[in-house]
Structure 1
Amino acid sequence: MDAFPHPDARLVVAGEPGALAGAELAARIERAARVLTRLPPGPVFCGMRNDLSSVVRYLAALRAGTPVALLDADLSPGALTMLIRRFRPTAVFGFAHAVEGSPRGRREAPDPHPDLALLLATSGSTGNPKLVRLSRRAVLANARAIATTLAIGPGDIAPTSLPLHYSYGLSVLNSHLAAGAAVVLTDAGLLERSFWTHLDGHGCTSLAAVPYQYEMLRRLRFDPAEHPTLTTMTQAGGRLRAELLGEFAAKAERFFVMYGQTEATARISVLAPRHLAGKPGSCGQAVPGGRLTVDDGEVVYHGPNVMMGYAETAADLARGDDLGGVLRTGDLGRLDDEGFLYLTGRVKRIAKIFGVRVNLDDVEGLLRDCGPVAATSGDDRVTVWAEGLDRDGCARLARRLGTELRLHWSGFDVRAVDRLPLLTTGKIDYRALESRA
């Protein structure tokens, strides 16, 4: 298999001259890999930031054959402790909060499967997340498929506009490193002036964003023409409103719509710019090497980037490939006669807010003390229906959810109802609520 990163790949720290590349980058990765190989068998937990030390540690783990879980560096001590108890890592690096009782010495857990390379959380901020088990083959296959379909080359430069513990953000890093391109590492967000200063200063050629970020860019009256090197924009992480899609596609030289899941490493399908007008509402065709089918309404993806399976505990890390390259996505959809995918709904009660997956049952569980509530999904938001609240009460509930789930409160549309509609079984009639949204 070809070298990863590509020998020409570059890592650039925002605001600093030069780049870490070539033999210097390889040596830095090799030194970090030697540290990991001295650890007992087992996964390592990495608090992943958009910085050089995090990226080098991740690449070193791939080089050393050490399974690495990339997690939010700002996880609360309680959430991190829970994950440590469940997955028994052999080392923990880079988290904002020190965790009492961090693992040392014998793990008392089975050794991970030799094909296991990467662990990513599935459910964003909510509940007790499963971890997706990904092989090195899956990571590299998807990186190269993305590089091919987006035509990423050595001259391309991408900023880290998304968290690197999020599969979409990580796929930007992986695809550029696989293609011998450059990645500018910055923790600044799109609403910070420094982000745009660095984007222009380093000559970035592409920008990846989720629907919420495109909403923010529109409010900022963002114009790609003000950033002369920026030629490509990509969107995934949920459905982008048709109005916004048309607006940004008209402004950008190249605009790609994408669909993906962490369970497929990152991306499943891509709608190329030349098809935007002729295939409205589609999320494109399968990435190179992949194939899409629809079984009883559910979208099924077949490809080398499909996960090995889920992990609930350390014992699951020893499992081999449970899926054989076939992923039932949980999304409802249809394929046209040219293989373009159109999503129509969800089989399971999962929503996305700003690209983060949220379990609607978990949302309801958080609000059990508030009286009868129900949660339904909308475009890049969750609608919460609550009995007996006034306008101020709805606003307080939205802010509470934003705080507890570490997402912006505007992603929760809390509405008051006199009574929740019920089925004859006494269960909540979610379809009736969705028809009101």
Structure 2
Amino acid sequence: MPTASHYPRVDIPDVDIWTLIFNQKNRAFPDDKIIYQDADTGRSYTYEQVRSTALEFGKGLKANWGWKKGDVLAIFSPNSIDIPPVIWGTHWAGGVVTPANPAYTADELAFQLKGTKARVLATQMSCLPVAVAAAKKVGIPEDRIILLGDERHPTAKYKHFTSVLNISRSTRYAKTKVDPSKDLAFLVYSSGTTGVPKGVMLSHRNIVTNIHQLKAGEEGNLSWNGGADKSGDRLLAFLPFYHIYGLTCLVHNAIFSGLHLVVMAKFDIERCETSPTTHTVPWPDWRRHAGSVGKLLPNLEAKYMTSPEDDSEPQEVPVGQVGELYVRGPNVFMGYLDNPAATAACVSPDGWFRTGDVGYQDAEGFFYITDRVKELIKYKGFQVAPAELEGILTDHEAVSDAAVIGIESAEHGTEVPRAYIVPNPNIIPREKRTAEEGEKICQWLQAKVAPYKRLRGGVRFVDEIPKSVSGKILRRLLKEQAKKEEAPVKAKL
């Protein structure tokens, strides 16, 4: 039987994001409550300043560029307190926001701009050269590249977003009506760690639901007027706003609850002494269940299923057994942009989303994620989780970092695990990166795992493990590297 959330169900209002945030009838905090503050400059937005800035920008979109329902604005920027008003100004005008990773190259950004048919690109001076090059590739006019942040263009060739106004005032613009369940709010692109990035379609209702779920999950532990000085709780925002977690748990959650968000362009550990402030693990249990992703938020249900290699139907596994996580609820995304095949492959007709996450649920209802289905190595009918082997390998004194992938082996007639290892230079200096040293690590691991998990593909020593900006191992690049290697180091197992 699928597991339902232990939280009471919450009523999800049938409204769009703007209406939820700025037309709240029971809002507890005042208009002058600071919501977003820049960690470097101290510049800030109060609740009312966010609303008025967003409103003026939304009117400017309509006045300057004839903005229509469904038009897309792209944001290519590090975290900034200017991002929220640009998002909600776009929503007020009926538009959709697609946030892009500021580390993208021009080609990577152009791929997203083309796929979403973006009409306007918002960026910062630090990202401007890449933004201009990408816009040129897809035909976005230079006068539709606008700037965020404190820095202005020296020749004013690119306008600051606050200059996008309804200057004439001769035409009165009204908020565009949207259908919360059907109309998109965001197009967030997947990381592309296992293939080409895909546009994830999120409706207004998806986000509104998630805001209420997060509020319930806080269980009253965060408030706008808490703390010793009664100035309210503060959240440190360093997780990227181009990622859905940053968008919902930080940007939207803060303004809905009146919390003070201190925004960092990126994480700087030297300036940070804090702990996570928003999560799904119940507050009293976070020390007791280290490693768990927590319990289900309200209005959700979940189950773990088998991942058969043949065409047979997946079967639900009992509590405590490992399987693929399926979830269902009103915050599940609408599907992939212009990709019905990918959507059908992961969202069933009755609303179950195959997350691709592998894990299990314990007897108390806490969920654990141990790997990804697409990353599982299929060895003669057995499934090997790379993350498990990586966790063991990094306990070895000679291993600084590790990544495990599956490679096709003609000798074994199946996929076999291979480890790419960054050695500890104090134990394995560069001149000792030999097959013999790799063999020693293979033998060490062999004593700790079942036979089917052995490193039959051997060990490769590398200078670094390729990872995305969010820390995900880019196994696709390692697989490409493996194909190019003519003489792999093999362990004689």
Q: Please report the TM-score for the alignment, with normalisation by the length of structure 2.
A: 0.54
Check 1:407–1:292 CA distance in 2 against 1; reply closer, same or farther (3 A cut).
closer
Structure 1 residue 39 corresponds to structure 2 residue 107 = no
Structure 1 match to 2:101? 72
Aligned equivalents of 1:277, 1:140: Cα separation in 2: 29
Q: 1:138 is aligned with what amino acid?
A: N
Structure 1 match to 2:165? none
Aligned equivalents of 1:375, 1:302: Cα separation in 2: 25
* Pairwise CA distance, 1:82: 2.2
Structure 1 residue 343 corresponds to structure 2 residue 354 = no
SS of the residue corresponding to residue 185 of structure 2 reads strand
Structure 1 match to 2:300? 290
Aligned equivalents of 1:293, 1:26: Cα separation in 2: 40
Structure 2 match to 1:391? 433
Aligned equivalents of 2:369, 2:335: Cα separation in 1: 23
CA contact (8 A) 1:14 1:186 kept: yes
CA contact (8 A) 2:328 2:352 kept: yes
- Which is strand-richer, 1 or 2? 1
Q: 2:45 is aligned with what amino acid?
A: L
Structure 1 match to 2:154? none
Structure 2 match to 1:123? 191
Q: Please report the TM-score for the alignment, with normalisation by the length of structure 1.
A: 0.61
Aligned equivalents of 2:107, 2:85: Cα separation in 1: 27
Structure 2 match to 1:56? 85
Which residue among 276, 279, 288 is the counterpart of 1:233?
Answer: 276
Structure 2 match to 1:159? 236
Structure 2 match to 1:310? 336
Q: 2:73 is aligned with what amino acid?
A: V
Aligned equivalents of 1:69, 1:409: Cα separation in 2: 21
Deviation by residue 1:55-109 (Cα, 9 ceiling, x = unmatched) = 321222233221111111231011112223333222222153112244459xxxx
* Pairwise CA distance, 1:332: 2.9
Aligned equivalents of 2:304, 2:236: Cα separation in 1: 35
CA contact (8 A) 1:131 1:311 kept: yes
Q: Say how many residue pairs are matched.
A: 320
Aligned equivalents of 2:402, 2:182: Cα separation in 1: 39
* Pairwise CA distance, 1:166: 1.6
* Pairwise CA distance, 1:177: 1.5
What percent of counterpart residues are identical?
21
* Pairwise CA distance, 1:334: 3.2
SS of the residue corresponding to residue 189 of structure 1 reads coil
Structure 1 match to 2:20? 3
* Pairwise CA distance, 1:341: 1.9
Aligned equivalents of 2:112, 2:373: Cα separation in 1: 27
* Pairwise CA distance, 1:278: 4.9
Structure 1 residue 23 corresponds to structure 2 residue 66 = no
Structure 1 residue 137 corresponds to structure 2 residue 205 = yes
Which segments of 5 or more consecutive residues in structure 2 lack a partner in the other structure? 1-14, 142-178, 225-231, 306-315, 317-322, 378-383, 392-400, 406-417, 421-429, 435-458
CA contact (8 A) 1:9 1:177 kept: no
Aligned equivalents of 1:168, 1:184: Cα separation in 2: 16
Q: 2:204 is aligned with what amino acid?
A: R
CA contact (8 A) 1:398 1:409 kept: no
Q: 1:398 is aligned with what amino acid?
A: E
Which residue among 128, 148, 173 is the counterpart of 2:251?
Answer: 173
Aligned equivalents of 1:57, 1:314: Cα separation in 2: 30
Aligned equivalents of 2:290, 2:471: Cα separation in 1: 29
CA contact (8 A) 1:298 1:328 kept: yes
CA contact (8 A) 2:73 2:96 kept: yes
SS of the residue corresponding to residue 107 of structure 2 reads helix
Q: 1:130 is aligned with what amino acid?
A: K
* Pairwise CA distance, 1:36: 3.1
Aligned equivalents of 1:287, 1:36: Cα separation in 2: 36
SS of the residue corresponding to residue 36 of structure 1 reads helix
Aligned equivalents of 2:54, 2:371: Cα separation in 1: 42
CA contact (8 A) 1:157 1:183 kept: yes
Check 1:398–1:277 CA distance in 2 against 1; reply closer, same or farther (3 A cut).
closer
Deviation by residue 1:26-61 (Cα, 9 ceiling, x = unmatched) = 110101112334335532211132112323212222
Structure 1 match to 2:285? 275
CA contact (8 A) 1:43 1:69 kept: yes
CA contact (8 A) 1:10 1:180 kept: yes
SS of the residue corresponding to residue 271 of structure 1 reads coil
Aligned equivalents of 2:40, 2:53: Cα separation in 1: 20
Check 1:410–1:121 CA distance in 2 against 1; reply closer, same or farther (3 A cut).
closer
Aligned equivalents of 1:147, 1:132: Cα separation in 2: 23
SS of the residue corresponding to residue 145 of structure 1 reads helix
Which segments of 5 or more consecutive residues in structure 1 lack a partner in the other structure? 106-111, 197-223, 225-229, 235-255, 259-269, 351-359, 361-373, 422-431, 433-437
Q: 1:153 is aligned with what amino acid?
A: S
Deviation by residue 1:278-305 (Cα, 9 ceiling, x = unmatched) = 5455332101222222333332212221
Q: 1:27 is aligned with what amino acid?
A: S
Check 1:410–1:292 CA distance in 2 against 1; reply closer, same or farther (3 A cut).
closer
CA contact (8 A) 2:51 2:85 kept: no
Q: 2:264 is aligned with what amino acid?
A: T
Check 1:323–1:129 CA distance in 2 against 1; reply closer, same or farther (3 A cut).
farther
Structure 1 match to 2:352? 326
In the TM superposition, 1:90-129 aligns within 5 A as 90-94=119-123, 95-96=127-128, 97=130, 98=132, 99=134, 100-104=136-140, 115-123=183-191, 127-129=195-197
Aligned equivalents of 1:31, 1:323: Cα separation in 2: 41
Aligned equivalents of 2:330, 2:121: Cα separation in 1: 29
Structure 1 residue 87 corresponds to structure 2 residue 116 = yes
Aligned equivalents of 1:346, 1:300: Cα separation in 2: 13
Check 1:315–1:146 CA distance in 2 against 1; reply closer, same or farther (3 A cut).
same
Larger Rg: 2
